[in-house]
Amino acid sequence: MPSKESKLRNLGKVRSEYVVLYYNSWPESKHLYIQMEFCLQNLRNILEVKPQVFGRQLGQPMDCIEYFISCEILRQILESVQYLHELNPQIIHRDLKPENILIPENVRNGRFVKLRDFGLAVEHRTETKQSHTTNVGTAKYMAPELYQSKYTTRSDIYSLGIMSMELFDIFLE
């Protein structure tokens, strides 16, 4: 499991418009406190109210406005994860889920989606076969290879697929 210090190093390395801003951290009474940018909402909150906001029942098709907004949210999530995967070395988030996709209160530059929670994130060097900690993340969003010891950025892509299904109300039985 990554140490608290390595979590902060990962967070500090990803200062960009795609990631919740990290301001400061300090230890106090055997706890580590992290001061970060305030974001009022996360994608889970949005997914829970989206059908009601657009006046439809679960299972009914989206109208064009809801579909467009869902596409824009997904596009920004994809850009954020692409940013992590294009760093050198790459960063694999390993815990992508709606609760870790935040919506800041003050939208700047048209970006309204930011990633958070880099506690399970690892650096990944493509030129070497690395062994990573297994069984990390949230089960529903975990790629099958996360149950083994070797995985790549594709693990994050699997999580994106599951979130996309939720965003567009695609339910497989």
Active-site residue, 95 included: yes
With a CB cutoff of 8 Å and minimum separation 6, the contacts of 7 are: 118, 119, 121
The residue extents of the domains of the chain are: 4-167
Reported as a single tens digit per residue, the pLDDT across 85-141 is 999 889 999 999 999 999 987 777 778 899 998 878 888 876 555 555 555 678 888
Q: How confident is the model at residue 61 (pLDDT cuts 50, 70, 90)?
A: very high
Assess whether pLDDT exceeds 70 at residue 22: yes
Confidence at residue 170, expressed as pLDDT on a 0 to 100 scale: 87
Q: How far apart are CA 34 and CA 22, in angstroms?
A: 8
Claim: this prediction has a pTM higher than 0.75: yes
- Active-site residue, from 95, 117, 156, 169: 95
* C-beta of residue 13 within 8 angstroms of C-beta of residue 91: yes
* C-beta of residue 35 within 8 angstroms of C-beta of residue 24: yes
Which one is the CATH code of 4-167: 3.20.20.70, 1.10.510.10, 3.40.640.10, 3.40.50.720? 1.10.510.10
* C-beta of residue 16 within 8 angstroms of C-beta of residue 91: no
Confidence at residue 65, expressed as pLDDT on a 0 to 100 scale: 96
